[in-house]
Every structure is written in structure tokens, then in C-alpha cells.
Chains A and B, each alone.
Chain A
Amino acid sequence: GAGVSQSPRYKVAKRGQDVALRCDPISGHVSLFWYQQALGQGPEFLTYFQNEAQLDKSGLPSDRFFAERPEGSVSTLKIQRTQQEDSAVYLCASSLAPQITSNQPQHFGDGTRLSIL
């Protein structure tokens, strides 16, 4: 597709359930980022992939959060045993080149709005 695609757009889960959020980056983009955006705040970095390699996961808030990109394209963010504080919009972004050497812009999807009841 032309842009970054995320699914589902909305997800409601009960506290304690596991959820999986999907990101389809722009075709050919090497870099993929996940961000978490709480209400009224700017996005905060969670994790970064260069192709299939997860090079940085320093922003993941706990070991309940897990991300993968096994074939270097589609990525999944999984949250286990969800808690109310996990409620937020989860944004995925992709960029053409490896970030360490690049000044390429990041292109964002519309996000998944996660609500934990």
C-alpha cells in the first residue's frame, strides 16, 4: 500500500487478556518503530527494528510487552496480561533507510487505540 497500515484500528480488552497489534510498513522500508501515545501526550518510543533485527527495545515499559518482525516487513506488538495503564494509542512508523545513518523522515500509521477495561 501507499502508507503505513495498522490493524485493528480499535481494540477493547479486559484486564488480564493478551492482545496483538499489527503494523504493515511501507514496502521496502528498512526501519520500523513502535510508539505509545497516551491521551494528551506526544508519542513515546517503544522499540526499533532494522529489517528483522530488533536493535533497540529500551522503551518497552515491562516484560509484558513483546515485539517481532520475523521477515523484515510486517511487525506485531504483543502485550500480555494487559493492565489499565496500557490503554493508549499505539503508533507504528517506518523509514526508508537504517536510522543510524539516515536523515530520512518517519512515516506514521493511524495507530491502534487500545482500551483496557
Chain B
Amino acid sequence: KQEVTQIPAALSVPEGENLVLNCSFTDSAIYNLQWFRQDPGKGLTSLLLIQSSQREQTSGRLNASLDKSSGRSTLYIAASQPGDSATYLCAVRFYGGSQGNLIFGKGTKLSVKP
């Protein structure tokens, strides 16, 4: 079964810290992997999309890496700010999946304390 797991489920850090969120997936045959941010009561905001042929993507203070062979991705957030507080979701589009739908992890709830 194609599954996505995110650890930890929750994380609390002081402002200014660098941090890493982890995502693992069960099948290395993937099209792409996408990281999303979800604020309470809101939909998902796409942060980064990594194609299967890529190793990493960067946007501002965010850097996402992909290691298909080990079934892992990390989202690195540099110099965290209270405004980064949200739930971060990892989603994978697997080969052989239903018409390109994404399989999501349960998310990591991040709290950045001022």
C-alpha cells in the first residue's frame, strides 16, 4: 500500500531556530512530492514541488530535499519566525496511483514561539 508518514506530529521551537520536518513514503516510484502549509480553518498553500528527477528545491527560507531510493524527503526552514506556525503537509504522487491524486501524510504541526 502506498503510504506517506510524517514525523514528528508536532514540534515547538523558539523563534530564530533552524528546523527540519521529515516525510517518508513507502514506494520509490513517484512522479513528484509536494510540501504544503495549512493554517487553521484554511486550505492548503503549496510551498514546494520536487520532481522525481530532482534532489532539492528552494524558495526563500525553505529548502526541500528528496531521496527517492530511501523514500524520504525533508523540509528545512531557516531562521524560523512566529508566522511560520502552521501545519505542514507532505504529499506524494505515486506512479500507478489513481489519475495523479496525491497521497498525504498526517502533517506536522509547527509552533514557533516568539
Other-chain contact of B106, A42, A55, A106 (Cβ < 8 Å): A42
B98 lies within 8 A of A108 (CB): no
A42 lies within 8 A of B105 (CB): yes
The size class of the interface chain A forms with chain B is 20 to 34
A42 lies within 8 A of B43 (CB): no
Complex contacts, B102 vs chain A, CB 8 Å: 33, 43, 45, 106
B98 lies within 8 A of A59 (CB): yes
Complex contacts, A107 vs chain B, CB 8 Å: 46
Measured CB to CB, the residues of B under 8 A from A are 4, 31-32, 34, 36, 41-46, 49, 51, 89, 91, 98-107
Measured CB to CB, the residues of A under 8 A from B are 4, 6, 31, 33, 40-45, 48, 50, 55-56, 58-59, 91, 93, 95, 99-100, 102-103, 105-111, 113
Q: What are 18 residue pairs bridging A and B, where the CB atoms are less than 8 Å apart in the complex?
A: A33-B102, A42-B89, A42-B104, A44-B104, A45-B98, A55-B99, A59-B101, A91-B43, A95-B100, A103-B32, A105-B46, A106-B34, A107-B46, A108-B44, A108-B46, A109-B43, A111-B42, A111-B43
A52–B51 CA distance with the chains assembled, in angstroms: 27
B43 lies within 8 A of A105 (CB): no
- Of all A-B residue pairs in the complex, the 7 with the closest CB atoms, nearest first, are A99-B100, A42-B104, A45-B101, A108-B44, A110-B43, A56-B99, A108-B43
A106 lies within 8 A of B46 (CB): yes
In the complex, the chain A residue whose C-beta lies closest to that of B90 is A42
Complex contacts, A93 vs chain B, CB 8 Å: 44
A56 lies within 8 A of B44 (CB): no
A82–B49 CA distance with the chains assembled, in angstroms: 36
